[in-house]
Structure 1
C-alpha cells in the first residue's frame, strides 16, 4: 500500500494501482450506473492530455523528460492499455473532475514508472502540476467529449450508409413490383415496392447529412480556456499550439474557439449532435413500422414482405415467427430519443461560466451513437439483406383495391369512376372485371393504363390512349 493525500485528508492506495486518492473519493461518492467510462472516451481524454503535454513542452514550460514520459503513458492508453485503471462512474458530480483527475493520476503514476520512480512520487511528476498543466476539467473534459463523438460518429455513419446501399439495392430489385399505396392506413393509389424502398433510402441519406453537419461543431474546442474561459494559467502560445497538436494526435482538424468563454459555458454543440441522431431515429422508426405492417400476417395480414425468420415467436403458439429485428430497431430508436431528452436537459441546465452536467451529456450521447450503430447494422444484417417481396400478394391486393380507379378518371370520367368504386365496394368484385363487363375500356387499354410504368410516374396514366381517341 502507499499513502496519498489531498486537501481533504489521506487515504491508502493499493500499490499496484495507477490511480490515486481523488479517484478513490470518486468511487466512494458516485455509485450510479454500475458501469465504467466508455473506452473510446478514455482514449479521447488521453489524446487531449498528450496534445497538452506536447504544447506545454513546445512553449518551454514543461520539462521534456517529464513531458515525454507523460506522452508515452498517454500513448499506452490511446493504444488500449490500462483500461482497468479507470473505475469511476460515467455519471458523476463535478463536471467531469473525477474522470479528469482519474486520468491525471494514471498518467502521472505510469510516467513515474517509466522514469523509474515509485508510484505516488508526485513531487517529481504531479497529477495536477504536470498532467493538468495549463488545463482545467472545464476545457479538457468537453474537448474529450468532442474527440470521442467524432471517433464514434464514423462507424455510425458507415452503418447508416450500409443501410442506404442495401435499400437502394432493394429499390432496384423491386422496381417492377406494383402494389397498393396506403394513406391513413387505407388504400390509396398504386406505387412500386421499389419506389418505397428508394424513399426510405432518401430519408436515411438526409439523416447522414444531418449528423455530418452537426459534427462540424465538434471540431471547435475550448482548450486553453481553463476554468471559466479567460485562459488563466495558460500562455497565449500554448492556446495557439494545443489545437494544432490535438489535430496531429487525433488525425482530425481542430480549431480554437473564437470566444473561449462562450465555448466553455455553452454545450449546444452536443444538443445539435444528439438532435441529428434523434431525428434520424424518427425516420428509422417510421421505416421499421412500415416493414412490420407490410410483413403482417403472414396469412391474415398484409403480407407483402417476407422477413427472414430469425427465431420462434411464441412460447405457446407453434410456428409463430415475429418481426423481431424490426421490433428491436424500433426499441433502439426509442432509446436514442430518450437519450436525446437527457442530453437536452443537460445542455439547458448549465449555469454561468460552466455547464456542470457534461458527464450525463457525454454518457447519453455516446450510448446513443453505440445503440444506433448496432441497431442499424442488426437491421441490415438480420433483415434487409435477406428480405423478400411476396409479388403474388402485392398483385392480389392491387387487383382487389378500388384505389386504382383514380388512374381511370381521365378515361372514364369522375361519375363513372365513382360508380365503379361504389359497385366494387358493395359487390366485392374487382374493378378490372366491372370495367370489362361495362365495356368502358378494352382489356388491352386497361392493362396499359394500369401497368406499373404508367401508374407510378407523373402525368396521366395511358395518356397516349387519350391522344389516340382525340381527348
Structure 2
C-alpha cells in the first residue's frame, strides 16, 4: 500500500496515501480499539462537525483572518461532507479518551485534505493549508465537540419526535376503532370497573403526546452553544467578534436556532443539557416500555391468557412448539427501553465525573445519547407499522368478561348501595354466579334497569346521580337521559 509521511509531536508516521485523514487520526485509531464502531455510524455528528468547520471558515474569512481562497476551499470541502461524502474517512472510535480531540482532529484532517485537492494540491501538503492552523482556526475541541454533539442531538430528536407522532397516530386510530368495545379495566391485575378498549388505547396516545412536548422543551437546551469559548471559555486565540459571527453562520447553515451561551466558561464545562435530554429520553423509554408490557399482557394466550386483543403475527415463535407466535415487536421495544435506561445512567455518571473547566467524558455521553435517540426512533416506527396498526380486538370475549366479572358490582353502588353490592360480590365469588343474575334474584333491580345501567355509555363515563335507592320512583334511572348526559 502506498503511503505518505506525516509528522506530529510524537514523530513521523506513514499514512495511507489515499486516506483523507492524517497522522492524528491514525494514532487515535491505534489508541482506541474499543468498540470497532467508528464515529461515522452517527451521520448527524459528521454533518454537525462539517457545519461547524464551514461556519468557522466563513467567520474567519469575514474577519480577515483567513485567506479567501483557502476559506472557500474549506467551505467547499465542508459542504461535500455535509452532503454525505467522505463519511467513511471518519474512522476514530466512538469511545475515546481526550474529550473528543480525536474526533475534532479527524474532521480537521479530512476537510483539510479534501480542500487541498480542490486547490490542486496533494493530500498532506499542510504547509499550504494546515488542519489545525486553518481548518481549526479560532477553535478548540472544547467548543467544537460539544457544539457538534448538540447540533447532532437536535437533528436526532426532531426525527424521534416525528416517529413518535407516527406511533401516537396509530394508537389514536385504534382508540377510535375500539371506542364501542366494552371490557373490564384492571387495577393491580385484579378486575376493577368497566371501560372501553378505545379508552385504554387512547391513554397510550396521550402518553406519547405528552412526551413529544417534553422532548421539544428539552431540545431547546441544546441550542445554547459555546462556540468562541476555545480552550476553557476565555476565548483565547479567537477574535472578539468571532463568537457572534460563527453562531450566526451556524444558524444559517443548519437551520438550528442556536444561541451563544452568556457565560462561555460555564458552558464549556457544564453537561447539564445532555443530562436533561437523557432524562427525558428515559421518560419516553419507561412509558413506551409500560405500553408494550400492556400489549403483551392483553394479547396473552391465546387460550389461557387474557386474550383481549390480537397482535399481528410476525414470525414463528418457537423451534419446538408448532404454531406458537410470540409478541416479538413489543419485546424488542422493551429491550430498547432497557438500553435507554442504562444509557441514562451512563450519561449521569459521565456528566458528574467532569472536573474543573472541562468534561473529558463527552464521547461516552454522545455515544449513549445517540444510541438512545436512534433506537427509540426505530422502535417507535417498528411498533407502529409492525404491531399497533394490525391489532384486532376479541369483542365477544371482552363483553363476556364484563358480564361475568364481579367488578361490575361497582357500577351498581349508586343504585343498590355499598352494603348490598358487597354482599352480591361475595356471593358471586363463592358461588360462581354472575352479578347480573344475583341482583335479579335478590330483586334489587329489574332486568330493564340492569340492562340500562350496564350500557357502555353509562359504565364508562361520569354520570349525575341522585340519592342511591332501589325504589322505582326515586331510582336514578328514572331521571330523564337528557338531564344526565
CA RMSD, 1 decimal: 1.4
Structure 2 residue aligned with 1:315: 319
* Ranges in structure 2 where 5+ consecutive residues have no aligned partner: 476-485
Structure 1 residue aligned with 2:364: 360
**Distance in 1 separating the partners of 2:121 and 2:329:** 54
TM-score, reference length from structure 2? 0.95
Is this contact kept in 2: 1:449–1:461, CA < 8 A? no
Structure 2 residue aligned with 1:81: 85
Specify whether residues 465 and 378 from structure 1 end up closer, same or farther in structure 2 by C-alpha distance, changes over 3 A only. farther
Structure 1 residue aligned with 2:234: 230
**Distance in 2 separating the partners of 1:40 and 1:465:** 67
**Distance in 2 separating the partners of 1:157 and 1:294:** 27
**Is it true that 1:103 corresponds to 2:96 in the alignment?**
no
Equivalent residue for 1:287, pick from 287, 291, 294: 291
Q: For structure 1, which segment, 219-228 or 407-416, has the greater mean C-alpha deviation from structure 2 after superposition?
A: 407-416
**Distance in 1 separating the partners of 2:389 and 2:314:** 13
Deviations 1:268-318 (A, max 9, x none): 101111111100111111111111111111110110011111111111111
**Is it true that 1:17 corresponds to 2:19 in the alignment?**
yes
Is this contact kept in 2: 1:223–1:242, CA < 8 A? yes
**Distance in 2 separating the partners of 1:64 and 1:201:** 53
* Ranges in structure 1 where 5+ consecutive residues have no aligned partner: none
Write out aligned runs for 1:26-45 (5 A).
26-37=28-39, 38-45=42-49
Q: For structure 1, which segment, 132-141 or 336-345, has the greater mean C-alpha deviation from structure 2 after superposition?
A: 336-345
Equivalent residue for 1:257, pick from 250, 255, 261: 261
Write out aligned runs for 1:92-241 (5 A).
92-241=96-245
Is this contact kept in 2: 1:150–1:218, CA < 8 A? yes
Deviations 1:116-162 (A, max 9, x none): 11111111100110011000000000000011011111221011011
TM-score, reference length from structure 1? 0.98
Deviations 1:160-213 (A, max 9, x none): 011111111111111111111101111111111111111111111111111111
* SS of aligned partner of 2:195: strand
Is this contact kept in 1: 2:417–2:469, CA < 8 A? no
Query: Alpha-carbon deviation of 1:469?
Result: 2.5
Query: Alpha-carbon deviation of 1:459?
Result: 3.1
**Distance in 2 separating the partners of 1:356 and 1:433:** 71
Deviations 1:203-247 (A, max 9, x none): 111111111110001111000000000000111111110000000
Deviations 1:393-439 (A, max 9, x none): 11121111111101111211222111111111011111111112222
**Distance in 2 separating the partners of 1:132 and 1:103:** 9
**Distance in 1 separating the partners of 2:461 and 2:89:** 62
